[in-house]
Structure 1
Amino acid sequence: MTSDRPDVLVVGAGVSGLTTGVRLAESGVKVRIRAEQEPWESHSAAAGAIWDPIYAKHPRVEQWAARSYEVFVELAQNHFPGVRVIDGVEASRVPIPSPDWAVGLPGYRECVPADLPIGFVSGWHYTAPIIDMPSYLHELQRRLIVAGGELVFGQRLQTLGDAFDDAPIVVNCSGVGARELVPDPEVQPIRGQLVAVRNPGLTDFFAEHTDELGEMTYLLPQGDTLLLGGSAEKGEASAVPDDQIARDIVARCSLIFPAIADAEIVGHRTGIRPSRPEVRVEHEPLGNRHLVHNYGHSGAGVSLSWGCADDAAEIVLGLL
C-alpha cells in the first residue's frame, strides 16, 4: 500500500468494483480498491457471463446494458482476454414475442421451429458478448494497475463507515455484502451454479428465457470448455456446489445437446448473486463525506457493468 491517501476508495473487487475502478483511474482519479478476496476468488468469477440484461430492475437498465454491449464488442475487437462475441439462441417454453432489447441487436431474427430444441416454442437468434470471467477479471485488474489504481486485499470491512478512513469518497460495489455493510435488508443472496465440461463441439450459445431467475437451461461455449447452467437458489448464501443440482443441470442440457451426456466434467462454479428489487446507483451525501452506491445487479452484473460504472464514475467526477 502506498502512503498517499487516494481520492476515492472502491469497496469490492468483483466485476462492478473493478470496472468502476478502471473508469475512475483512467479519468485521472487516484483510486484504491479494497476487498476481502482477489477478483478471481469473487462471486463474479463464477458467473457464466453472457450479456443478457433481463434479470435486473431499474429505469436505466436498457441504457446501461446497451453501453456495456458496446464496450464488450470493442473489447472483443481488440482481443481483450476473456471477451468474445458469438451467435446463439434465447428461447422460451411458452409463446412470447421477442423483447424490445433483442430486436435491434446484431444478428437478430425470430426463430423458426427448426431452430428450437424440444420443449421450446418461441425464441430469437442474436449475437452477444460472452465473457470468460476468471481471465477477464485478471486482465481488468491489470488494466486498473496500468492506469495507476491500487488494490488492497484480505481485510474485511465491518461497516462502510470504516471505509472513510481511506478516502473522503467511497464507492460501494460490495454486491451481496451490501446487505450487512450498508446495511440494506433489500439485498438477498441467490446462489447460482454452473457445471464446466469439456466442449464436445458446441460453437453457439443457447439460453432459456425466463421471467425471473430460477431453474433455467443454458449452454455457453468458452473455447475448449462448455459452461452448463443453471440454478437460482433464493436465500442461499453458501458457495459450496450441490451435487444433485449439478446432475440436474447436466441432464437438462443433455436433452438439448445429447453429446453433453458423455462429456468430461472439468469443474464446478458457484457464486452468489446480489438480488435487489432495484439496482442501486446513486449518491448518498454524508456531510463532508460522500458515498456512491453501485450494487444490487442480481443476475445482470456483467451485462450492466460498464453502463453502471460510467454513471457511478460520473457522480464521483462531479463531486471531485
Structure 2
Amino acid sequence: MERGRGDDIVVVGGGVIGLTTAVVLAERGRRVRLWTREPVEQTTSAVAGALWWPYRVEPVALARAWALRSLDVYEDLAVRPEESGVRMAEGVLGETGLDAVDTWAAARLPGLRAATAREYGGTGLWARLPLIDMSTHLAYLRARLVAAGGVVETRAVTALAEAGAPVVVNCTGLGARKLVPDASVRPVRGQLVVVENPGIRTWMVSTDPVSGEMAYFFPHPGRLVLGGTAEEDAWSPEPDPAVADAIVRRCAALRPEIAGARVLGHLVGLRPAREAVRLEREALPDGRLLVHNYGHGGGGATVAWGCAREAADLASR
C-alpha cells in the first residue's frame, strides 16, 4: 500500500468526472494526485459528443440539479472556446417540447422555443447549449489541475486499496464494476462516425418514435461527429461497419449533405450506466475515507461540475 503525504487525496479515474473532481479539490487547496489507467485523451470521455443535456443519468431530479450547476461553469468557459473546448451552440432537440423543460431549465436557457417546420420535421426544441470538444476540454482540465498543484500519474489500478492516501475518490466509471466491486455498473455501448463537416453549423438530436433509434450530429472544429447507438450490456470496443453505415444513413435523412461527407474515423465508447449515480462517502476500516463518484451513464460531461463539487464536499467533512 502506498501511503500518501499528510493531506493527500488520490482521485482514481482520468475521465471527465475524475479530472473535474480533481480540479475542484486542488483549487480548494487540497494536495491531489490523479491516477488514470490511460492518458486522459484515451478515456471513454474522449469519445463523447458531447452536448450538455442530461442523458441516461439517474436519478432525474439530482441529475438536473447537477447539470444546472455545471451549466454555470460551461457558460463561463465558453468565453474562451479555443482554450476550454466549450462553446455555446444552437440546435434542435427532437421529440422534445417546451413543457419538458419548463419546470427545470427554461429559466436558465434563454431563447428556448419550439423548432419550426423548416428546422425539424416533428416536435422539436430549438436551444442554445454548451457543446464540448472533449479532445480540447480534457487537455484543458489536465492543465488546470497541474496549474493548481495537482499531479497526474498514468497507472493501472487493480484495487482501490492501492491508493493509500487519507482520502480516496473513486471516479472509475465502468471500472467500478470490478474495483468496488459493483455489478450494477453496466456498459451502454455508443458508436460514432467522424466525418468532414460539409458546412453544418448547428447540432441536432433525433429519436425515431417507433424504433427508438437515435440520430445526432455535432459540429466540432474540423469535423462533424455523427451518432449514435445505445447498446446495453455490449462490451465490444471495435466499430461495426454495418452500424456505422446505418448511423450515416440516419443522419443523412436529417441533413442530406452528410451522405457525401468523407469519413475521417470511427469511435466506440462504453457509457458507465447504473440505476443511479453513486455519489457518497464510505468510512474504511483503517480510518481512511473513500468517496464514490461514478455511474453517470451518458451524462458525464453534463453533470461533471455539479457532481465534482458535491464529491469535494464529501471529501472535506
Cα displacement (A) at 1:96: 8.7
Contact 1:87 1:107 in 2 (8 A): no
Instruction: State the match for 1:185 in structure 2.
Output: 183
Q: 1:42: how far off?
A: 0.4
Report the 3-state secondary structure (helix = DSSP H, G, I; strand = E; otherwise coil) of the residue aligned with 2:14. coil
The residue number in structure 2 matching 1:99 is 101
- CA distance in 2 between counterparts of 1:242 and 1:21 reads 35
Structure 1 outlier segments of 4+, above 4 Å:
3-6, 94-97
SS across alignment from 1:33: strand
CA distance in 2, matches of 1:39, 1:200: 29
Q: Which amino acid aligns with 1:300?
A: G
TM-score (ref. length: structure 2): 0.92
- Provide the rounded CA distance (Å) in 2 between the counterparts of 1:303 and 1:28: 25
Aligned-CA RMSD value: 2.1
Q: What is aligned with 1:60?
A: 62
Among candidates 159, 170, 178, match of residue 172 of structure 1: 170
Q: Partners in 1 of 2:207 and 2:54 — Cα distance? A: 11
Shift of residue 224 of structure 1?
A: 2.6
Give how far 1:232 is off.
Answer: 1.1
For residue 273 of structure 1, give the secondary structure of its aligned residue in structure 2: strand
Distance 1:102 1:217, change over 3 A: farther
Cα distance between partner residues in 1 of 2:280 and 2:242: 40
The residue that corresponds to 1:127 in the other structure is: 128
Give unpaired runs (5+ residues) of structure 1.
none
**Residue 243 of structure 1, aligned match among 217, 241, 255:** 241
The CA distance in 1 between the partners of 2:30 and 2:293, in whole Å, is 18
2:27 alignment counterpart: 26
Structure 1 segment 139-178 matched on structure 2, within 5 A: 139-153=140-154, 155-163=155-163, 165=164, 167-178=165-176
Shift of residue 61 of structure 1? 1.1
Q: For residue 86 of structure 2, what is the amino acid of its counterpart? A: V
Change (3 A) 1:291 1:210: farther
Deviation at 1:151, TM superposition (A): 1.1
Give the Cα–Cα distance (whole angstroms) in 2 for the partners of residues 210 and 90 of structure 1.
Answer: 12
Structure 2, unaligned runs of 5 or more = none
CA distance in 2, matches of 1:267, 1:81: 23
Identity of aligned residues (%): 43
Is 1:316 equivalent to 2:315 in the alignment?
Answer: yes
TM-score, normalised by the number of residues in structure 1: 0.91
Q: Does 1:108 align with 2:112?
A: yes
Map of 1:281-320 to 2, 5 A cutoff?
281-287=279-285, 288-318=287-317
SS of the residue aligned with 1:312? helix
> 2:80 touches 2:86 (CA, 8 Å); kept in 1?
no
Distance 1:63 1:173 in 2: 19
1:272 to 257, 260, 270: 270
In 2, Cα distance between the equivalents of 1:102 and 1:263?
Answer: 35
The 2-side partners of 1:74 and 1:81 are apart by 10
Aligned partners of 2:97 and 2:114 also within 8 Å: no
**1:42 is matched with which residue?**
43
Render the CA deviation track for 1:31-60: whole Å, top value 9, x for unaligned: 001121011010100000100113211241
- One-letter code of the match for 2:13? G
**Separation in structure 2 between the aligned mates of residue 245 and residue 96 of structure 1, nearest angstrom:** 32
DSSP-derived class of the 1:306 partner: helix
1:221-262 Cα offsets, whole Å, 9 max, x none, are: 113311100011111122211111111100000011101110
Per the alignment, in what secondary structure is the counterpart of residue 294 of structure 1?
A: strand
Corresponding position: 1:81 with 2:84: yes
* Structure 2 counterpart of 1:204: 202
Superposed displacement of residue 6, structure 1: 5.6
Specify the SS of the correspondent of 2:78.
helix
CA distance in 1 between counterparts of 2:44 and 2:21 reads: 17
Report Cα offsets for 1:199-234 as digits up to 9, x if no partner: 0011111012589xx631111011331110001111
Look up the equivalent residue of 1:305 and give its one-letter code.
Answer: A
Cα pair distance change 1:158/1:5, threshold 3 Å: farther
Instruction: Pick the aligned partner of 1:222 from 214, 220, 223.
Output: 220
Q: How many residues align?
A: 309
Answer whether contact 2:6 2:166 (CA < 8 A) is retained: no
Q: Deviations over 1:4-39 (max 9, x none)?
A: 566110000000000000000111100001121011
